[in-house]
Every structure is written in structure tokens, then in C-alpha cells.
């Protein structure tokens, strides 16, 4: 794997939740390439072990561990495995997260006729499912907080330890149709700053990356039509992105390595770093 630059993570233990996902997998490869011992945590053990096997086949060090980021006991068991095989955690990356259709409206705006129509396929604000909304909040916010509670215990008083959370463009300006996801990511940005202050006296830095719009296999159906052309929403995104294109997962690696590196960012704490092609800077005029 070609890195934008190399940092020395030899003998460092990195725990990454959601490590078998599209972005997480890319980060796993980069961290392993820098010499880290990477514990890949994922809800599905087979996916975590498959990714770990790929890393090991390339001569690097990784293990796959099953973990539910919403279950304290599951995280404790995962922690025990990491301690037994690698030792205490130096770097925690909270990559697990996601959205749910039950927390999403069908349209960007509410119209009067929407309230009069008897359309079962139409989900307005008033139809949003509370369990779906709770799931999104729990997965993103609690799914970040609980791993911090478990693995940050290893970091106290040890030099070079830090936490990286994953925020989103939604945290800066809420996107239409996805109120639950936008709110949950805003909570992560706020929590990142809170935790950075809270941990500042015990030597743990806490920062976050806010990815812009990436075109991946996970969201391709939302951003592309069946014939491969871009959807109307895609065109809106690109028109609001000064660089005029979608990002790629690999373009997040430089930000990740910078924030992790004690040599590069030892005085960087409590920031939410956009990697978005200028989206968050553009007012639309």
C-alpha cells in the first residue's frame, strides 16, 4: 500500500471499531503498513478475521475480534483478547457507525399535500420511527462513547496515546432527509471536544475526522442510478463541493496519520478535521 507519508507505529497497539468496513479497511492497511499491531473489531467476526488475514498475508500484524460497540460486556471481552494477544491499547479509532432508513424522510421538504395523501411509501417527519432514530443515535454516539470507556483505561499516563472519532459533514450543516444521522454525528463532534478537555490532564489526545462525500460500494445505490448515471442528490452534492468531485477512502489516510502521530500533532487536541473537498467552506454563492 502506498501511503501519503509514513509514521512510525512500531509496537503501537491500535484498536479500530468497524475495521472491516470500507473506510475502516483502508485505515487498517495504512496503520499496519506503519508497523502497528492492529486489532480489527467488527460486529461480524468472520469479516474482521478475513480482513486480519489479508493484513497478515502481507507480512503485517493484525487480529480480528468480534465486538458489539453497544454492549459493554462484548467490549470487555474484546478488550481481554486485545490485551492477551497485543497488550494495552495505544490508539483507539471509533470507526463504527451508520444510518437507518427508519430515521430518514422520503422528501427533503414537507408539503401540505403530503399530510393529505394516503401514501404508505411516503415517510414524512411525522412518520419517523422512534426505534429507528434511537438505533442511529445509539450506533453512532453510544457506539463511540462505550469503546472510549473501555479502551481509554489503557492509555492513562502513557505517552503518545490518542483517540480518533469519526464525525461527518452532517455535523457542520444538517443534510436534508437524515435528521437522526445528522444529529448523531453532531453529538460525536461535541463529544470529541468534551472528551479532549476531560482527558487533557492524563495525556490522552482526542480528535475527529469529518469525511466529506465519498462514493463507495456502501452508498453507490444512493448516489448512482441503475444505469450508472449520477442521481439528482449526487449533482447537488457536487455542485456544493468546490473541488467538484467525490472523495475516495484513501484520501482520508493523510488526515488519520497526521492526527495519530505524536510527532506531527502533539499539540492538536479537540479538533474535528474536515476532509471534504471544500464542502463545509462553501456557502453556495
For the beta carbon of residue 217, count every other beta carbon within 10 angstroms: 7
What is the enclosing helix (H) or strand (E) of 253?
Answer: helix 253-260
Phi, psi for 207 (deg, rounded to 5) = -135, 175
Strands 37-42 and 61-66: parallel
Distance CA 137, CA 141 (A): 6
Query: d(Cα 5, Cα 164) in Å, to the nearest integer?
Result: 18
Q: Count of CB atoms within 10 A of residue 154's CB? A: 19
The single residue of 181, 191, 246, 279 carrying the catalytic annotation is 181
Retrieve residue 270's grid coordinates. 479537540
Determine the length of the chain. 285
For 137, the 3-state DSSP assignment is: helix
277 backbone dihedrals φ, ψ, rounded to 5°: 65, 20
73 by Cβ neighbours in 10 Å (0-12 / 13-18 / 19+) ranks as exposed
**181 has catalytic annotation:** yes
Helices (H) and strands (E) in the chain, counts: 11, 7
32, exposed or middle or buried, with CB in 10 Å at 0-12, 13-18, 19+? buried
Q: Which residues are catalytic?
A: 181
Amino acid at each position: 500500500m502506498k501511503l501519503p507519508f509514513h509514521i512510525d507505529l512500531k509496537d503501537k497497539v491500535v484498536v479500530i471499531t468497524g475495521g472491516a468496513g470500507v473506510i475502516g479497511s483502508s485505515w487498517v492497511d495504512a496503520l499496519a503498513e506503519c508497523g502497528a499491531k492492529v486489532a480489527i473489531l467488527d460486529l461480524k467476526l468472520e469479516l474482521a478475521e478475513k480482513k486480519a488475514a489479508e493484513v497478515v498475508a502481507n507480512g503485517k500484524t493484525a487480529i480480528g475480534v468480534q465486538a458489539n460497540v453497544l454492549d459493554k460486556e462484548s467490549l470487555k471481552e474484546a478488550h481481554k483478547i486485545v490485551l492477551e494477544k497485543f497488550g494495552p491499547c495505544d490508539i483507539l479509532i471509533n470507526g463504527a457507525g451508520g444510518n437507518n432508513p427508519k430515521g430518514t424522510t422520503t422528501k427533503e421538504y414537507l408539503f401540505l399535500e403530503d399530510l393529505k395523501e394516503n401514501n404508505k411509501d411516503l415517510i414524512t417527519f411525522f412518520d419517523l420511527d422512534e426505534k429507528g432514530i434511537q438505533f442511529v443515535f445509539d450506533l453512532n454516539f453510544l457506539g463511540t462513547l462505550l469503546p472510549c470507556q473501555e479502551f481509554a483505561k489503557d492509555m492513562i499516563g502513557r505517552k503518545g496515546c490518542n483517540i480518533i472519532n469519526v464525525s461527518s459533514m452532517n455535523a457542520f450543516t444538517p443534510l436534508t432527509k437524515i435528521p437522526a444521522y445528522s444529529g448523531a454525528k453532531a453529538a460525536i463532534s461535541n463529544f470529541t471536544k468534551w472528551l479532549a478537555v476531560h482527558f487533557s490532564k492524563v495525556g490522552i489526545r482526542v480528535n475527529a475526522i469529518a469525511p466529506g462525500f465519498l462514493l463507495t460500494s456502501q452508498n453507490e445505490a444512493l448516489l448512482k442510478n441503475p444505469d450508472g448515471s449520477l442521481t439528482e442528490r449526487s449533482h447537488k452534492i457536487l455542485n456544493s463541493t468546490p473541488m467538484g468531485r467525490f472523495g475516495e477512502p484513501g484520501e482520508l489516510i493523510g488526515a488519520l496519520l497526521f492526527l495519530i502521530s505524536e510527532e506531527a500533532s502533539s499539540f492538536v487536541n479537540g479538533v474535528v478535521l474536515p476532509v471534504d473537498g471544500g464542502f463545509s467552506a462553501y456557502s453556495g454563492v
